[in-house]
Structure 1
Amino acid sequence: MEFAMGKRQGDGAARMLCLGALVVLCFVSQVTKAQAATLPNCSYPGVFSFGDSLSDVGNSIAAFPEQFAHAELDPNGHIFPQHAADRFTDGKLLVDFLAFGVRRRPIYPVLRGTAGDFTYGTCFAAYGGPARTVKVWIKDNGFNTPFSLDVQYQWYERYKIRVWFYESPVFNPPGRLNQSLPKLATFNESLFTVWAGYHDYFFSLYDKILTVAETPKIVPDVVQAIEDHLVKIMTPVVYTPPATPSMIMPTAKTILVVNLPPLGCIPAMLTLFGTPTAKYDNYGCLSALNLISIAHNTLLETKIIALRAKFPAAKILYGDAYSVYTDILKDPKSYNATAPLQACCGVGGAYNFNTNVTCGHAGIVANKFVNLTMSLPAMPCADPSAHLSWDGIHTSNTFNKAAATAFLTGKHITPAGGLNCSPDFTFWEARS
């Protein structure tokens, strides 16, 4: 009886403890919701992006329409905007999701010749453009352009001057010339993104310019190019227009710098460098290639920490795309990423990728005709949302959405809290 009494008392104590824990959890949940409710809306006047094909919405095809013709052909863009829109992905790029998340529409490329609306920002990124300065470039030589970060910066500086010109009552009297441009005064209130370096590593390996053992040697130069770019967009520049007083151009005050995804998990890399003797991690990715990404990301984060001290007035955010990728690999089902290491738009092999016929092209593989230029609504794979890589080279809508969601909600982003604002997910699944 004493035992039974003690057991009932113990059960009662346990119930009280659980009830207390539940109350605490409810309180914490209410506090979290209250804190979220007090956060201001993520609303920036504009979004400006720099980088390579992971961020370009059409600059390189505007410059070299024949070289990159397949960027505006099916099946690219079959999820968004349901037709090819100069993006190497099945739907939205990371910068598209970010633009929607901060209550803007997707931005246009600076080289866009027709129907461009630059009211809410501009894209300076260019597919084929490395972080490092291009010293030698051969036209139509594969997936390459001369539009490195230093060139993109020149576009940006010239762009600000043209914005000033259209705002100037001296050179452009009201009602004379109208353009859909952002206000120059809002540049320092806008969100800037820099996602660069992927091209430097990926295509050095893909085109066999460097071996896996040689590639880590370029890490300091790649990261230095990114650091130089960040310094330039944060440093005030004095502009002296003709017949008017000098002025200080606005600088970037809020910058999201995104690191490299794990190179060893990209289908093209797995196809090219996977061998019976290669070392793989727990997720089936190539360990040696992932070490390249880790070396880059470690140095990049170190540089960003130093830049925060040098530019205290700026908010420099570090988006950890590598951790987003590995988070999905740890629990792919929760992201519906049931084929995380396979390309969606591709053909052949364990990773659905073949260098002879890539997405947007047609050709012969294993003595069979393969057409990867499918017209919509035909799907390039059974379930595009199941893949982290769209074409074996570029990130998919699924990964881009996961990364943007993480960064906007304060996950895998530093300093803690990230943008510290309440994002808008209304158009997350928008198809047009």
Structure 2
Amino acid sequence: MGSVLDRRIVFSLLFLIIVTLLSYNADSKCDFKAIFNFGDSNSDTGGFWAAFPAQSGPWGMTYFKKPAGRASDGRLIIDFLAESLGMPFLSPYLQSIGSDFRHGANFATLASTVLLPNTSLFVSGISPFSLAIQLNQMKHFKVKVDETHSSDQQALKILPSRDVFGKSLYTFYIGQNDFTSNLAAIGVDGVKQYLPQVISQIAGTIKEIYGIGGRTFLVLNLAPVGCYPSILTGYIHTASDLDKFGCLISVNKAVEYYNALLKKTLSKTRTEVKNATVIYLDTHKILFDLFQYPNSYGMKHGIKACCGHGGHPYNFDQKLFCGTSKVIRNSTVTAKACHDPHNYVSWDGIHMTEAANHRISTAILDGSLSDPPFTLSNLCAS
């Protein structure tokens, strides 16, 4: 009798363990159901090229093996974040064919700014899809999701649930074009004058999204653009203007000013949006380190572009961008990609390689760049 009872107890315990494990797996699914991203070419997964189709090789050569609407040889930071949360890559909001918005949408487009592009502050070559436009697209998207759930069951196959907006991650990787677009024309001091306006617009956008249900926000700060080949070749300077790593001192000091103000503003914003999480991500920290000490990360080249023309030291020509050709001295010259982009921090003189994006993403996920502390990798099952 005792042995039968013992067996029953053992089976009961095993059953409880199995149920507990199953419950744990179910509960450990990702806390976030979607990502909504706002940005420029640093996080554009195809929006610009959906609006203005023209992209050709060597873009996408490392991961996608073909152009994939990204300003890189492979995946972007936003791609790595989506993968880590168990989601597919974000579909561009502007892409009409093949998009799946069940796990969010990407409003970023190449050359986008925070401030409206029709202001006199900016030169030509800026996208019409400013942050204000991207916010309006987000609001329209939410309205259409609400309406569709009431009227069109077929469309629900590519749309998220109504309650997804409070369970989503809202990411911002934008501001670089506001900083760089007129740097050569009005100088560092001129650019610094309107940076508080840029930051105020980002904070205001967070508050507007909070008003329609958003609760978790990640804001990436500004990269050390004074190390970018495009800036080093386009901004008039002398050798004394460079630090020992070859980066422009005054430009990077202005970046530090921007980032300090952004961090301070987000701290204030945090007190204004109750029961919300607003995270400042210091991606500048690791990217600056990559430019200065590429060898420490298993890479070889910091301020030299992989894809470009011109050779040492920057391999960048302001008139011959990656993948394009022109006639020089009766010969056709093409800005070609290197064969080993994994050894480069800079892909095309303006954007990062997949290798650099991967290293930045790893630091974001482990929480080492977050203020306040926020470990994204702990929020989802492995």
- Structure 1-normalised TM-score? 0.77
Q: Where does residue 315 of structure 1 map in the other structure?
A: 277
Q: Where does residue 377 of structure 1 map in the other structure?
A: none
Q: Where does residue 64 of structure 1 map in the other structure?
A: 52
| 1:334 shift after superposition | 3.0
**Displacement over 4 Å in runs of 4+:** 39-43, 365-368, 422-425
Q: Where does residue 235 of structure 1 map in the other structure?
A: 211
Q: Distance in 1 between matches of 2:92 and 2:173?
A: 15
- Secondary structure of 1:342's aligned partner: strand
Paired residues, number: 353
| 1:78 shift after superposition | 0.6
Question: Which residue, 228, 240, 249 being the options, matches 1:287?
Answer: 249
- Secondary structure of 2:290's aligned partner: helix
Structure 1 residues 17-56: aligned runs within 5 Å = 42-56=30-44
CA shift in 2, pair 1:364/1:272, >3 Å: same
Retained in 2: the 8 A contact 1:130–1:148?
yes
Matched, 1:384 2:344: no
CA shift in 2, pair 1:59/1:365, >3 Å: same
Question: Which residue, 415, 428, 431 being the options, matches 2:372?
Answer: 415
Retained in 2: the 8 A contact 1:40–1:421?
no
- Secondary structure of 1:47's aligned partner: strand
Q: Where does residue 240 of structure 1 map in the other structure?
A: none
Matched, 1:155 2:137: yes
The letter for the 2-side match of 1:145 is S
- Secondary structure of 1:212's aligned partner: helix
Matched, 1:94 2:72: no
| 1:41 shift after superposition | 6.0
Q: Where does residue 323 of structure 2 map in the other structure?
A: 360
Structure 1 residues 81-120: aligned runs within 5 Å = 81-120=64-103
Alignment root-mean-square deviation, CA: 2.2
Retained in 2: the 8 A contact 1:49–1:193?
yes
Q: For structure 2, which runs of at least 5 residues remain unmatched after alignment?
A: 1-26
Q: Where does residue 187 of structure 2 map in the other structure?
A: 211
- Secondary structure of 2:188's aligned partner: coil
Question: Which residue, 361, 365, 369 being the options, matches 2:332?
Answer: 369
- Secondary structure of 2:182's aligned partner: helix
C-alpha distance after superposition, 1:144-177 (max 9, x if no partner): 2211111000000000111112211xx33x4x54
C-alpha distance after superposition, 1:26-79 (max 9, x if no partner): xxxxxxxxxxxxx956552111100111111122222233xxx2xx31100011
Q: Distance in 2 between matches of 1:41 and 1:404?
A: 20
Q: Where does residue 352 of structure 2 map in the other structure?
A: 395
Q: Distance in 1 between matches of 2:222 and 2:297?
A: 20
C-alpha distance after superposition, 1:355-400 (max 9, x if no partner): 111112111457653223x6xxxxx113201222211011221221
- Secondary structure of 1:131's aligned partner: coil
- Structure 2-normalised TM-score? 0.86
Q: Where does residue 58 of structure 2 map in the other structure?
A: 75
Q: For structure 1, which runs of at least 5 residues remain unmatched after alignment?
A: 1-38, 237-250, 375-379, 426-432
Retained in 2: the 8 A contact 1:42–1:101?
no
- Secondary structure of 1:234's aligned partner: helix
Q: Where does residue 17 of structure 1 map in the other structure?
A: none
Retained in 1: the 8 A contact 2:36–2:171?
yes
CA shift in 2, pair 1:365/1:259, >3 Å: farther
Q: Where does residue 334 of structure 1 map in the other structure?
A: 296
The letter for the 2-side match of 1:213 is D
Matched, 1:220 2:182: no
What percentage of aligned pairs have identical amino acids? Answer: 31
Q: Give the structure with higher Rg (CA).
A: 1
| 1:92 shift after superposition | 0.7
Q: Where does residue 30 of structure 1 map in the other structure?
A: none
